[in-house]
Amino acid sequence: MTPDAAIFKSIDRSFNTRVKVGNGHYIKVEGKGDVLIDTPSGTKLVSHVLLVPEIDRNLLSIAQLLENGYSVVFKGKECLISDPSGSKLMYFIIFIDDYSRFCWGYFLKCKSEVASVFWKFKVVVETQSSCKLKTLRSKNGMEYTSAVFQTFCEKSCIKHQLTNTYTPQQNGVSEIKNRTLMDMARCLMFERNLPKSFWAEAVNTDKSELEYTAEDLVTEQTKADQNDLEMDIDHEPVRGTRPLSEKYERENVATEISVEQPEGFKVVGEEDKVFKLRKTLYGLKQAPMAWYDRIDTYLVSSRFERSISEPTLYVKKEGDETLLIVSLYVDDLLVTRGNNAILTNFKGKMESMFEMSDLGEMSYFLATRPDIMFAVSLLSRFMHCCNMDHFQAAKRVLRKIMADMNLHQREATEIRCDNQSAVAIAKNPMFHGKTKHFKIKFHFVREMEQSQEIRLVHCSSEDQLADILTKPLCVSRFKNLIAKLGV
């Protein structure tokens, strides 16, 4: 009960009754509603709060709290009330289909719940897909190696694959998905300035968005006209609401999507209805899949074979000979193999079928490296506040890349220097009066010279390309160095 009507989130003024207080008298109740209370763990909603103007303070019924499952602890002058629905969720677990990459997620209060959650998941997925779960791949944690979990897998004839200890890259699909969900959750919480106690809600928002995206794109598929590049709408609007984007992507819709009637095209008397799309709008979550479905259909009809392990890689063969290899990244295509005639013919057909242009030969190709992906991703978080530890870690990554490319250093790295005295001192192992005042760190160059890691070579100031980065130059000198750098 409370005498303050201002603290109510919602209130029903039609609720009128009387309550009996401690002295035996009855006082009038002028309403009932919901009140928001700020607590250390977040804002809580208290329902069925009575508005009683005749009392002078807020009153809370301990008996009703206990009846509703709350726990109440009195300690000194404090009273601790624990919400039964607010028990902390400490973990989440995701199950990913290895073929479609569809994701299911569950939240856990403790790791011991993994077995029971997996049983629930097995029933759900087998019922929905009408397929039996045959293989499970997980990390080598105790929650997966327990006797209960192993017994269930054996009775269900499920082959359980375990990764090696401290080798998360063997289960990279799940590790990447976990990191993606957590990064998205952190962004949501940072943007809304939410406390950490809402992490589960943020992850659940991410998970739901990913699930619904995948589910919407594979259900209720319809066949549409591939040659029609105009945005079609049904003449009869259907009920529902959805915001309208300003641009559209010229691809066919795989699911039923509705949009609000745009300005200037509203049907008089039916303004509360919407149009059903036949072409996707730019920015909709269905747009990338609609584009992929269209180009996938075209490539497959052109006798390309889609890779099972990499759905964006297509190979065209004639017998045992590989004619063309096409790698698709969103709306960019990389084409290789084959002779000039085959390439020219393929590019001509693609340009006539799609709105495409030839960008010429590829200059750089950045391949994905799962073995260094985590290290590179982690280091990239500290690009704005890096220290020596980060530099050391980055050097280790670079050494691994160079070693994998068989780029071992066999000769000393040549460093050009326009200071003859500096070159002479670095090459002279003797110490004398001119060098005794040097700081110790400057002797590092001499040590690298002696160990043949580097080799200092004198060059004239006119040929020193580094001057463009370290010195103010006149226009003619600047243009000369720019030309030598090939910029």
What is the residue extent of each domain of the chain? Answer: 5-86, 91-216, 409-487
The four Cα atoms 243, 190, 81, 69 give a dihedral, to 10 degrees, of 40
Q: How many CA atoms lie within 13 A of 433 on its CB side?
A: 0
pLDDT at 135: 93
pLDDT category at 280 given cuts 50, 70, 90 is low
State the average pLDDT over residues 293-308. 89
pLDDT above 50 for 221:
no
Indicate the pTM of the whole model. Answer: 0.34
pLDDT above 60 for 231:
no
pLDDT at 254: 52
Render pLDDT for 62-107 as a digit per residue (tens, 0 to 9).
Answer: 887 777 767 788 877 788 777 665 556 788 899 999 888 888 888 8
pLDDT above 70 for 150:
yes
The answer to whether the beta carbons of residues 254 and 217 sit under 8 Å apart is yes
pLDDT at 374: 85
C-alpha distances in Å from residue 436, one per residue of 425, 439, 449: 12, 8, 19
The answer to whether the beta carbons of residues 81 and 102 sit under 8 Å apart is no
State the average pLDDT over residues 176-203. 85
Which has the minimum average pLDDT: 69-83, 140-154, 221-235?
Answer: 221-235
Render pLDDT for 7-23 as a digit per residue (tens, 0 to 9).
Answer: 888 888 888 888 888 78
pLDDT above 60 for 265:
yes
Which has the minimum average pLDDT: 138-152, 344-358, 401-415?
Answer: 401-415
pLDDT at 213: 33
List of E strands, 109-204: 135-138, 159-162
| Bigger pLDDT: 339 vs 338 | 339
pLDDT at 260: 81
pLDDT category at 301 given cuts 50, 70, 90 is very high
pLDDT category at 281 given cuts 50, 70, 90 is low
Which parts of 28-146 fold into alpha helices (H)? 62-67, 114-129, 142-145
pLDDT at 328: 87
| Bigger pLDDT: 384 vs 367 | 384
- Domain 91-216 sits in which CATH superfamily? Ribonuclease H-like superfamily/Ribonuclease H (3.30.420.10)
Please name which of 308, 333, 304, 306 lies closest in space to residue 317, comparing C-alpha atoms. 304
CA-to-CA distance for 111 and 137, rounded, in angstroms?
17
Task: Report the 10 Å Cβ neighbour count for 476.
Answer: 8
Q: What residue type is 292 in one-letter code?
A: Y
State the average pLDDT over residues 188-212. 72
Q: What is the mean pLDDT of the chain?
A: 78
